[in-house]
């Protein structure tokens, strides 16, 4: 949005009418240069590129949705051309009165039979596509709960083991993974545009869907149901990996946290305990067993922090702890702005080391 807001729109070159018209016309630019801002705006809004793009599919479900979009667009363009062509024909070329037989044929053929056929065709093409995302996967099941404003993520293996994580989802490429979705307080909506459609997350209810990434890569997911002050700041990273890499990653994710590896990280760990962080956060293998906030056992290995809003490095972690309420308005986590910067950096070094 900020790019669009920064774009400048030139004043209307057609200018005032009447006496000054001739003067204004001399400075007139070619008509097509006036299209520039509109085209830029359209391209920006369409968002056809990047790792959160519906029309840049990286999964089976997103690919069928993209095809559906193009088929629908094609159908709409054909209809528009036909109707416009007909309109031009009867207003410009066919100036004599039409016979009653022709007029009736035009109304029934063009107004009833043609649109019914086209719409029925598009409907029968699109309806079967809905079934795919309702196919159960046979690998891990990913349970995701929408919180204010972050994502609680639990992987359930076919053997029944559960691995708790947060704010990031990793998936095996080529396999269909089932998502079981719910929410804690208000309705959220789970959407990974590059992989497929969206599903609402509703408190007290479990919805489900499945997704099948077809290419490895890093994508972005976003909450798409207005859920409060920081709705727009409720995102997550999605990494689709080769199946063997995914297995190895899940193995590591299931382990307890690594002990602090430096003196600074040790100071950070002591501070983490002293400031009571463990009342809300879990770091498996330590005394921190809180369940209010995101599990931090392997937070250092994630691609971002704060639910997709900051890079994952020591400086950003320190910034986050110091200014949570500024960075994510109305978030539950209080900001620790009473701590000196060096202490915040030690906390950052400890958390970044939790890989």
The residues near 80 (Cβ < 8 Å, ≥ 6 apart) are none
Smallest separation, CB 228 to ligand CUA (Å): 7
Chain residues in the site for ligand CUA (CB under 6 A):
146, 149, 188, 223, 225-227, 231, 234
Distance CA(257)–CA(259), nearest Å, equals 6
Buried b (16+ CB within 10 A) or exposed e, 319-337: bbbbebeebbeebebebbe
Smallest separation, CB 271 to ligand CUA (Å): 31
Distance CA(258)–CA(3), nearest Å, equals 41
Residue with the two structure tokens 């063009």: 110
Smallest separation, CB 231 to ligand CUA (Å): 3
Smallest separation, CB 52 to ligand CUA (Å): 15
Buried b (16+ CB within 10 A) or exposed e, 113-128: eeeeeeeeebeeeeee
Distance CA(157)–CA(248), nearest Å, equals 13
Answer whether the bond into residue 149 is a cis peptide, omega within 30°.
yes
Give the SS3 label for residue 289.
strand
Give the SS3 label for residue 68.
helix
- Nearer residue to ligand CUA within complex by CB, 181 or 321: 181
- Nearer residue to ligand CUA within complex by CB, 146 or 308: 146
- Nearer residue to ligand CUA within complex by CB, 149 or 272: 149
- Nearer residue to ligand CUA within complex by CB, 180 or 284: 180
- Nearer residue to ligand CUA within complex by CB, 227 or 250: 227
The candidate with the shortest Cα–Cα distance to 192, out of 282, 338, 308, is 308
Smallest separation, CB 243 to ligand CUA (Å): 30
Smallest separation, CB 320 to ligand CUA (Å): 19
- Nearer residue to ligand CUA within complex by CB, 234 or 314: 234
Smallest separation, CB 187 to ligand CUA (Å): 8
Question: For 15-114, where are the E strands, in sequence order?
Answer: none
- Nearer residue to ligand CUA within complex by CB, 60 or 147: 147
Token pair of 131 as six digits: 């079934």
267 vs 44, 344, 349, CA distance in Å? 46, 10, 9
């Amino acid at each position: 949005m900020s790019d669009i807001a920064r774009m400048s729109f030139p004043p209307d070159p057609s200018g005032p009418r009447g006496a000054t018209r001739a003067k204004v016309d001399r400075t007139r630019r070619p008509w097509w240069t006036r299209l520039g801002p509109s085209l830029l705006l359209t391209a920006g809004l369409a968002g056809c590129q990047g790792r959160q793009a519906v029309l840049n599919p990286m999964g089976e479900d997103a690919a069928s949705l993209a095809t559906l979009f193009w088929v629908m667009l094609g159908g709409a363009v054909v209809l528009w051309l036909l109707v416009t062509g007909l309109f031009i024909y009867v207003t410009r070329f066919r100036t004599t009165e039409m016979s009653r037989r022709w007029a009736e044929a035009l109304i029934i053929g063009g107004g009833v039979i043609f649109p019914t056929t086209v719409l029925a065709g598009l409907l029968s093409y699109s309806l079967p596509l809905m079934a795919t995302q309702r196919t159960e996967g046979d690998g891990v099941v990913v349970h995701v709960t929408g919180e204010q404003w972050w994502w609680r993520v639990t992987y359930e293996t076919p053997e029944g083991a559960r691995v708790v994580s947060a704010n990031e989802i990793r998936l095996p490429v080529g396999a269909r993974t089932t998502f079981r979705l719910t929410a804690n307080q208000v309705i959220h909506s789970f959407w990974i545009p590059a992989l497929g459609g969206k599903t609402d997350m509703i408190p007290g209810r479990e919805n489900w869907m499945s997704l099948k990434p077809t290419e490895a890569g890093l994508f972005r997911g976003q909450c798409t149901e207005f859920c409060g002050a920081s709705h727009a700041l409720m995102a997550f990273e999605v990494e689709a990996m080769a199946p063997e890499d995914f297995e190895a990653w899940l193995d590591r994710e299931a382990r307890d946290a690594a002990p602090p590896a430096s003196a600074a990280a040790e100071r950070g760990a002591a501070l983490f305990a002293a400031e009571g962080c463990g009342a809300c956060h879990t770091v498996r293998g330590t005394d921190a067993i809180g369940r209010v906030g995101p599990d931090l056992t392997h937070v250092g290995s994630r691609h971002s922090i704060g639910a997709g809003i900051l890079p994952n490095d020591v400086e950003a972690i320190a910034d986050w702890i110091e200014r949570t309420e500024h960075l994510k308005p109305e978030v539950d986590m209080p900001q620790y702005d009473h701590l000196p910067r060096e202490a915040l950096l030690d906390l950052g070094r400890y958390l970044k080391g939790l890989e």
